[in-house]
Amino acid sequence: YKKNKKKIFGIILAIIIFIFSIIFYNYLVERKITNLSKDYIYASIQAQEGKKIEATNNFKKIIYSNEPTYSSLALFFLIEKELIVDLNEILNLYDHVINNNKFDTEMKNLLIYKKALVIFERSTEISMVEILKPIINSDSVLKSQAQLLLGDFFVYKKNYLKAKDLYLRIFNESNQDNYKILAKDKLENISNEIN
């Protein structure tokens, strides 16, 4: 004990510092989340009171805080309440949220899917395909849903052959019966346009 006294105290001190560091870090994270929740509520109230510029700025601050839950909620609020209508700004905010937050794969795919929904009527074919490609080329639970959306986009753009190819792919490859039924119905709906 006498020979290793300094080593023992050093190890004990290191363990104590480590434990307090973890406790302090968790405290800071919880405090940040608590403050973000207050900021989110405050920005929501501002939006309800018609203070759109202030609310928009506060929601953007929340988005740029890079806390996954509140960044996503703030983005959805801005879009739903049409506080931001500029498509490029919306896309940039989506890209920021997707690329700067730690999401599991399915949550990230959900954000990508929602981004595609936002630009559905204002997008080019190349943009829509590029946005949905990560989901369509994966084993995501949203794969068939993304394929349906892209097929619907092709129908919207009157590109019925590409829509047919996607719907057939869903019908042949999907392991979910509800998507097969939807794909079959959509194929029947566009059959007159193809012939």
Give the pLDDT confidence score for residue 175 in this predicted structure: 79
Over 80: is that where the pLDDT of 193 sits? Answer: no
- On average, the pLDDT of the chain sits at 91
Give the pLDDT confidence score for residue 103 in this predicted structure: 92
Over 90: is that where the pLDDT of 143 sits? Answer: yes
pLDDT (mean) for 149-170: 93
Give the pLDDT confidence score for residue 9 in this predicted structure: 82
Q: How far apart are CA 128 and CA 195, in angstroms?
A: 26
pLDDT in tens, 88-135: 999 999 999 999 999 999 999 999 999 999 989 888 899 999 999 999
